[in-house]
Structure 1
Amino acid sequence: MPQLASLPGRDIHKIVTLSHRCGHADGVEPFNEQTVLALQKPASPGREHFLVPQEDRPDHIIGYAQLEIVGTTAETELAVDPDHRRRGVGRALLRTVIDSLESNVTQIRTWAHGDLPSAAALARAEGFGRDRVLFQLGRDLDGFEWPVSWPKEARENWPVGAGAPVDLPAGIGLRSFETDRDEAEWTRVNAEAFADHPEQGRWTIADLRDRMGERWFDPEGLIVAEDARGMLGFHWTKVEGGVGEVYVLGVDPRSQGTGLGRALTLAGLAHMAAHGIRQIDLYTDESNTRAVELYRSMGFEVVRSDVQWAKRL
């Protein structure tokens, strides 16, 4: 089973094709955004790619796993071509990943997107336990109760309705993200807002710029809240394939509990609605009860669950 520190372009194409085949068969893509972005990255300490070629067609990839070491924890995602499942390929791939780990790694975690029964069966059979649940919530904006008024910084095309007005705490204003100016401040607020989050909170400026380099990135869709002391929060919206997403919503701890998170949420939704978007998705941890309650109060419902499985080594 080939194990590579970086991938040639031909293998990247095959892995993306594998991912699309899995998505078509399962109704959900097998890899998260971080894994997909890492396919094209140069070799980096702690990251490995595992390929399973088809026996009678060595140029055809039927299985793939990506491994990332973070401190003493190994994180992996894997996928097996739908036509080659139930033959032990996934089990062999997972065991190969685990066997490759150094002795200082004490835990391995893996995502099962869509919480599919087959993934759960494999995880349990290999000694993993459910560790974390990520909700995907969604709603249609038709019939959304928009506020009767917005703060003075709001854009003229934001929709209005009969809902409660959006008022910002005193001294706080809204604006769009500015490239080559806001990266450091955004990274600081993101780290503080998600200090307890195992993935989002460790984003670096390089991670931010990776996303800024994506075709869907629009600085006007990254709405920033600030006061005289600096950035206090942000709502980063994403539009792709005609669907909007509450991509990242973060509030500095010094402004949590002030209503700023709700105001930023509404501002981002209004920005997307003003650009003709009607369907909105978002992701949040099941354990983040405050966020789940906020989104449910705005009419969002759970449409999918992703499960992270973990095993002590």
Structure 2
Amino acid sequence: MSDVGLDTTNHLDEAAATDVLALAGRAADVDGVEAVSEAFRLALRSPHTSVTHLRAYAGGSPSEGLLGYAAVDPGGSAELVVDPVARRQGVGRALLRAALDAGTTGVWAHGDLPAARGLAASEGLVSTRELHVMERPVRDGDDVDPVLPEGFSVRAFESGRDEQAWLDVNRLAFASHPEQGSITLEDLEERMAQDWFDPAGFLLVEDTTVTLDGGAHPLAAYHWTKREPHSAARPGHARDGDEGAGTSGEVYVVGVHPAYQGRGLAGPLTGLGTAHLARQGVKTIELYVDGDNTRALATYRRAGFEDAAIHVVYGRPPAP
């Protein structure tokens, strides 16, 4: 398709955002994996982000229908999706080149599908980051809370009270993480406004040996769980024969304040979220962890999690 036209904007209206989500849904139905992550989905309608949206149309006219979409965030991370009916016609290549021109330093290939690998290689891009999707089935006994080390207690997040303390710990725990460590109060509030948010599943671990002004205890760690309404496991990952098989929950994000690392919290912290999700009736628990985070990978593998998929970032090879 030689007449692919591109539109670039920093704001999408409701109709345009709906079109992108519909396209992403069609692609997910074919690919078995979502091409647009939560952060970029939120950016479609958020007034707070400065994401660059790139849309591909036949003949360059929106009236001809949306063929593909890409987005580049301020940190240089990008995602890209092409409508299944418009693939192998130059749409993906046009969007990728436009994203690179817009300043992306890395493009996500969710699921690292063969077509994405081929497109990246043809443009001279190489793998620069891996994100492991890990999962395991809920087992007997998972619904029992583990025992925390002495001097620590757990409670649920309270809106209007815990936002700043969580932001502070999250920033320190993910100081080197390109996305998680940069979350702002506005980002947090957007997530809290989603229909999946449940403060009862946002677990805060406090150091009860220290009392701050006002009687509060310092936040040492947290385990934020997530369960999408009507959630289902990826195709092929549900357990046959289970009533309600396919329902899934997520270890959304786990963080430990650097001052409390090495204090024996990692294992029990994982177990707290697992227990909460198990009591909600999920059958499968999944999580995401960077490939270079060897400590976290080891913790989750000890807890029985196994790789289910790998997402890859493709970028320019490092200079020699």
TM range (shorter): 0.7 to 0.9
Q: How does 1:242-281 map to 2 (within 5 A)?
A: 242-281=247-286
- Residue in 2 that maps onto 1:230: 218
Q: How does 1:131-210 map to 2 (within 5 A)?
A: 131-143=128-140, 146=142, 158-159=143-144, 166-210=146-190
1:142 Cα shift? 2.8
What are the Cα deviations for residues 90-139 of structure 1, in whole angstroms up to 9, with x where unaligned?
111111233344xxxxx611100001111011111112111010000011
Q: Distance in 1 between matches of 2:14 and 2:284?
A: 34
Instruction: Give the paired residue count.
Output: 287
Question: What 5-or-longer segments of structure 1 have no aligned partner?
Answer: 102-106, 147-157, 161-165
- Residue in 2 that maps onto 1:119: 116
Describe the shift of the 1:44–1:27 C-alpha distance in structure 2 as closer, same or farther (beyond 3 A): closer
- Residue in 1 that maps onto 2:214: none
SS of aligned partner of 2:73: strand
1:44 Cα shift? 4.7
Q: Distance in 2 between matches of 1:171 and 1:295?
A: 24
What are the Cα deviations for residues 9-61 of structure 1, in whole angstroms up to 9, with x where unaligned?
1111110011011101111011111110000023754x211111233873410
Q: Distance in 2 between matches of 1:167 and 1:141?
A: 19
Equivalent pair of 2:48/2:186 in contact (CA under 8 Å): no
Alignment pair present for 1:38 and 2:43: yes
AA of the residue aligned to 1:182: D
What are the Cα deviations for residues 156-199 of structure 1, in whole angstroms up to 9, with x where unaligned?
xx437xxxxx4323321111111101000001111111111111
AA of the residue aligned to 2:58: Q
What are the Cα deviations for residues 241-298 of structure 1, in whole angstroms up to 9, with x where unaligned?
1311000011111111112121111111111111211211100011111111111111
Equivalent in 86, 89, 94 of residue 87 of structure 1: 89
- Residue in 1 that maps onto 2:311: 306
Normalising by structure 1, report the TM-score. Answer: 0.87
- Residue in 1 that maps onto 2:20: 15
- Residue in 1 that maps onto 2:78: 76
Question: What 5-or-longer segments of structure 2 have no aligned partner?
Answer: 1-5, 211-216, 232-246
- Residue in 2 that maps onto 1:291: 296
Equivalent pair of 2:72/2:102 in contact (CA under 8 Å): no
Equivalent pair of 1:109/1:308 in contact (CA under 8 Å): yes
Alignment pair present for 1:54 and 2:58: yes
SS of aligned partner of 1:31: coil
AA of the residue aligned to 2:89: R
Equivalent pair of 1:50/1:66 in contact (CA under 8 Å): yes
Give the number of the structure whose residues are more often strand, by fraction.
Answer: 1
AA of the residue aligned to 1:221: G
Equivalent pair of 1:244/1:272 in contact (CA under 8 Å): yes
Identity between Structure 1 and Structure 2 (%): 41
Equivalent pair of 1:76/1:109 in contact (CA under 8 Å): yes
- Residue in 2 that maps onto 1:154: none
Equivalent pair of 1:222/1:235 in contact (CA under 8 Å): yes
SS of aligned partner of 2:63: strand
AA of the residue aligned to 1:138: E
SS of aligned partner of 1:69: coil
